[in-house]
């Protein structure tokens, strides 16, 4: 069930990113003695990564969450130096999840110095 929710949410979030003008990008970074590729989305010099997590809420109940992490340059993305965005619970309607993430993204884009 969790995988289905994450997969559906990922598709809808990716659609929103593409609609806003982001492009898919693969970022390679070194992790200890090996290299790892991560799937990101790029808009000008801003790199974003969709992350799903299971975390407790304020009542101590574990829930599924999604967030977009941001790196303000390829250099920072390659160093895995992403800043966390807001965690959005996946138990709300997917349209609301996408709306919240889009609103956050537009705010980040406005504040990003290279855009």
For 58-89, the pLDDT digits (tens) are 888 889 999 999 999 999 999 989 999 999 99
> 113 or 45, which is more confident?
45
Closest-CA residue to 64 (of 73, 55, 77, 74): 55
| DSSP string across 9-48 | HHHHHHHHHHHTT-EEEEEEEEETTEEEEEEEEEETTEEE
85-115 per-position pLDDT tens digit: 999 999 999 999 999 999 999 999 998 766 5
The verdict on pTM exceeding 0.85 is yes
């Amino acid at each position: 069930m969790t995988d289905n929710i994450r997969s559906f949410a990922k598709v809808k979030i990716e659609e929103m990113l593409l609609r806003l003008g982001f492009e898919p990008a693969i970022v390679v970074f070194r992790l200890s003695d090996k290299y790892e590729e991560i799937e990101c989305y790029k808009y000008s010099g801003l790199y974003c990564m969709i992350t799903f997590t299971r975390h407790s809420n304020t009542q101590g109940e574990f829930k599924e969450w999604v967030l977009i992490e941001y790196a303000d340059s390829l250099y920072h993305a390659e160093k895995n130096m992403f800043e966390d965005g807001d965690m959005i619970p996946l138990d709300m309607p997917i349209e609301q999840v996408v709306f919240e993430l889009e609103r956050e993204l537009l705010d980040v884009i406005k504040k990003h110095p290279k855009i």
